[in-house]
Structure 1
């Protein structure tokens, strides 16, 4: 089982859309997938579930003994009343299960900075809170016998994303063709490098028994995906997307790969290039896919036949991305 996250500090780069469509393509390759909604905005949960079902889940998630959402299972740990609880994964299609997110995940995130400090002091509560989400995901991934865990995360470098990325085996950065997305790569590189270095210090201070029970915290860099879900064209460039594409590769090399490699060369395996693939702008098809709750490449029969060529192109694009991710993850 491999854990993967698509992570960029900048919003609007298509993380959730990419995650949904890559999960679908992995399932088409007969890889079983568990999607974990670790974003308090619950974007991927709201993608798959209609409003009434989501309202029902969130309405009961805070009740004692509830198994509705990720927060329901983490609540006992946050409140100091026990270990992680159980949660009922939802089957979205054959080969894809979802652990629903919750706006109350922000309560878990509020506990994480204190827990992080407690880890340096070798306190059991610090380890327990910091690795609670990891234990929850492991329990479900092992029960379902999945091949891949895909975390969906928010666009920030906060405490919740820190524990998610440290729990991953591989992380990939979606990058849109705009200045802010490109600049965010510097924050991604510095933040992940610091998280890894700090966690290795925590592990070195931990007892052998504690070291065995907490995650390793050495996520390798899987590369980047160029995403054109939102493209800010500017006013002067004749082909702004192509111009930004030329700037992405050296920025990834200098601000992510080099920074992580300085912490540990094993974090940057040689995959024969840092680019995983690229996704073009599918315009109205992305919101159409959300309306029906499934991948863009499965929209035949649901949209105007004039869009079928683009639907098929999407299916081929995400199939290629999935195959490359399988190769890089060694699944």
Structure 2
């Protein structure tokens, strides 16, 4: 099993959309995928599940449910069970009543599983922040807290025999993301071709190296033998350029100056290497065009953009666009799997 965190500390770059579609495509290739929603905004969960399932999961009726406008839960159709989120798994630690609770992933379809998120996960931020420094001293309780995500994901992945774990994390450098990222074998970075993404990239690289060095040198040597702990590999996998406007299959000129700067910035700040030659760009995994016209159809049909059919509203020339979307995501998935040794 290999784990990949999709992360950029700049929001709005399409990270959750990328996680959702990559999970579906890797499953289609034939591997078992566990998607893990570690963003307290729970956007990945809301993409995978319908309103009724989320209401059941969080045990809190939404306005749509109360107004009777959402689909009712039919016997035997729900893919979730109440109280089975990441937040529920860490609640015993947060409340001081025990260690992590076992959480059963939701099976979305054959070979595709979800460890759902919850807005309640944000309550765990302060606890993680407090215990991080105590973990340096080898405090067992602090180490259990800091390794909670790793152990939850490890248990869930083992229970469904996952080949690939895709972790969706929020756009910040806070304690929740630190605990999530040290659990990842690899980090895949979605980027937009703009100044904000480049600034986020310059902050992200040094921070990941600091977290890795601190964990491996100060915490790992002191972890008690009975507590499974991550290695904090966080190996940079590469980056994906998300949603530039395309003309004749090339980004419009307004993006060019930012695209030209990304390879050097990624090599220097994320990898700690010298700037590559201008004609070298081996760390860019893909550039995905803007599929804005397909997203509303995908949302309404509750399926990936590349699975849209005429019955979903993808009519006429839109079907050619769907086929292009499929090819791009298939190429992306093949490249990602090849880089982690599963190709």
Structure 2 length-normalised TM:
0.85
User: 2:337 matched to 1:326?
Assistant: yes
C-alpha change, 1:126 and 1:247, in structure 2 (3 Å) is same
- Maintained 8 Å contact 1:173/1:223: yes
- Maintained 8 Å contact 2:8/2:190: yes
C-alpha change, 1:55 and 1:204, in structure 2 (3 Å) is closer
Tell me the distance in 2 between the aligned counterparts of 1:283 and 1:102: 27
C-alpha change, 1:60 and 1:31, in structure 2 (3 Å) is same
Match of 2:269 in 1: 255
Say which of 152, 163, 169 aligns to 1:153: 169
Q: CA deviation at 1:291?
A: 2.2
- Maintained 8 Å contact 1:131/1:214: yes
- Maintained 8 Å contact 2:6/2:188: yes
CA RMSD of aligned residues (A): 2.3
User: 2:131 matched to 1:115?
Assistant: yes
User: 2:313 matched to 1:313?
Assistant: no
- Maintained 8 Å contact 2:220/2:229: no
SS at match of 2:90: helix
Residue deviations 1:239-273 (CA, integer Å, cap 9, x gap): 112332212111111221117x9xxxxxxxxx982
Tell me the distance in 1 between the aligned counterparts of 2:169 and 2:281: 27
Say which of 85, 91, 108 aligns to 2:101: 85
Q: Where does 1:1-331 land on structure 2 (aligned, <5 Å)?
A: 1-59=1-59, 67-203=83-219, 205-206=221-222, 209=225, 213-228=228-243, 239-258=253-272, 273-301=282-310, 302=312, 303-331=314-342
SS at match of 2:241: strand
Name the count of aligned residue pairs: 311
- Maintained 8 Å contact 1:60/1:66: no
Q: CA deviation at 1:203?
A: 3.0
Q: CA deviation at 1:283?
A: 1.4
- Maintained 8 Å contact 1:223/1:275: yes
- Maintained 8 Å contact 2:138/2:219: no
Residue deviations 1:300-323 (CA, integer Å, cap 9, x gap): 231223211111111110111110
- Maintained 8 Å contact 1:67/1:86: no
SS at match of 1:209: coil
Q: CA deviation at 1:288?
A: 2.0
Q: CA deviation at 1:207?
A: 5.3
Q: CA deviation at 1:275?
A: 1.0
Tell me the distance in 2 between the aligned counterparts of 1:256 and 1:310: 34
- Maintained 8 Å contact 2:56/2:82: no
SS at match of 2:317: helix
C-alpha change, 1:167 and 1:32, in structure 2 (3 Å) is same
More helix by share: 1
Q: CA deviation at 1:204?
A: 5.3
C-alpha change, 1:59 and 1:204, in structure 2 (3 Å) is closer
Tell me the distance in 1 between the aligned counterparts of 2:123 and 2:163: 30
SS at match of 1:117: helix
Q: CA deviation at 1:278?
A: 1.3
Residue deviations 1:14-61 (CA, integer Å, cap 9, x gap): 101101111111011101100000001010111112223212211269
Match of 1:264 in 2: none
Deviates more, 1:144-153 or 1:192-201: 192-201
SS at match of 1:167: coil
